[in-house]
Amino acid sequence: MSAAVATAQSAQGAVQERSAWKETWTMFARNRAALIGLVILAVIILIAVLAPWIAPHDPTAQNLSLRREGPNAGAWLGRDAFGRDILSRIMLGARATLLAAIGVIVLSGVVGTAIGIVAGYRGGVADSLLMRSVDLVLSFPYFLLAILIVAVAGPSLRNAAIAVGITYIPQYARVVRGATMEVVGKEYVEAAHASGVRGFRIAFKHVLPNISAPIIVITTVGLALAIVSVSSLSFLGLGAQPPSPEWGAMLADGRQYVASAPHISIFPGMAILLTVLALNLVGDGFRDTFDPTLR
User: Is 33 a domain residue?
Assistant: no
Number of domains in the chain: 1
| Per-residue pLDDT at 197 | 64
* Cα separation values, 21 from 6, 15, 25, 95, 227, Å: 23, 10, 6, 30, 29
User: Is 132 a domain residue?
Assistant: yes
| Per-residue pLDDT at 1 | 46
> Which amino acid, 202?
I
**What CATH number does the domain containing 284 carry?**
1.10.3720.10
User: Is 32 a domain residue?
Assistant: no
pTM: 0.87
pLDDT along the chain (295 residues), means of 10: 44 51 77 92 95 92 91 92 94 94 95 90 86 88 90 92 94 90 74 66 76 87 93 92 91 90 94 95 85 55
Please give the radius of gyration of the chain, using alpha carbons only, rounded to the nearest integer.
23
| Per-residue pLDDT at 161 | 95
> CA 184 to CA 203: how far, in whole Å?
8
Q: Which of 157, 130, 134 shows the shortest CA–CA distance to 146?
A: 157
Q: Which domain holds residue 190?
A: 45-57+80-294
User: Is 65 a domain residue?
Assistant: no
| Per-residue pLDDT at 11 | 43
> CA 245 to CA 69: how far, in whole Å?
18
User: Is 9 a domain residue?
Assistant: no
